[in-house]
Amino acid sequence: MAYYVGLRVADQVKQLEPLKIRGLIPVQQFSGGVQRTGSELRLINDTALRDGHVMGVWSLPEGADRDHEYCNPMAGEGRERVEKIRRRGWRVLVTGTEGDALVDRGKQLVKMMEEKRVNVLGYFTKGGSHGIQDHDLQKAKELYAVVKNLISSSTAYE
């Protein structure tokens, strides 16, 4: 969700002035695609994967599949749309955990952004599950520290 909001905001940054946006932080990117990734196959019974498939199908236009741009950032014009983020000079932090069936989607997003020369950082940890930082205080503190570091280093660019 954060990723798509970021793409829309990147188009309308002038209308938001004096607000200055310097980055985007998709925490455990919730995206999909028709072709299953390794983590999706490995964790096929994961509730995030099952729920994401159902929610993804329900939220797409009639007749669309999980390779629609709202579900899969790699599909359609996705690779071109990320140029908006690069042109704005935003820093991007994509996070995930190895225990999340959707982790490979986040890694794919990082790789695509690197190829497009976006200032992106992938932060992927061992273990965990989708949303682990919502109920594990230690994981929440670790994520907070990474986010805080990104924001602190971004203010140096004023």
Q: How far is CA 30 from the centre of its chain?
A: 7
Quote the pLDDT of residue 92.
93
Total Cβ atoms within 10 A of residue 90: 20
Among 4, 31, 22, which residue's Cα sits nearest to residue 96?
31
Instruction: Report the mean per-residue pLDDT for the chain.
Output: 86
Quote the pLDDT of residue 106.
94
Total Cβ atoms within 10 A of residue 81: 18
Quote the pLDDT of residue 111.
96
Residues of the chain with pLDDT under 70: 48-57, 154-158
Which amino acid is it at 102? L
What secondary structure letter does DSSP report for 17? T
* DSSP code per residue over 82-131: THHHHHHT-EEEEEEETTSTTHHHHHHHHHHHHHTT-EEEEEEESS--TT
Total Cβ atoms within 10 A of residue 51: 12
What secondary structure letter does DSSP report for 65? -
Domains and CATH numbers, the chain: 2-157 (3.40.50.1820)
Quote the pLDDT of residue 55.
60
18: preceding bond cis by omega (within 30 degrees): yes
Please write the tens of the pLDDT for every residue from 64-76.
888 888 888 888 8
Q: If DSSP codes are grouped into helix, strand and coil, which group holds residue 8? A: helix
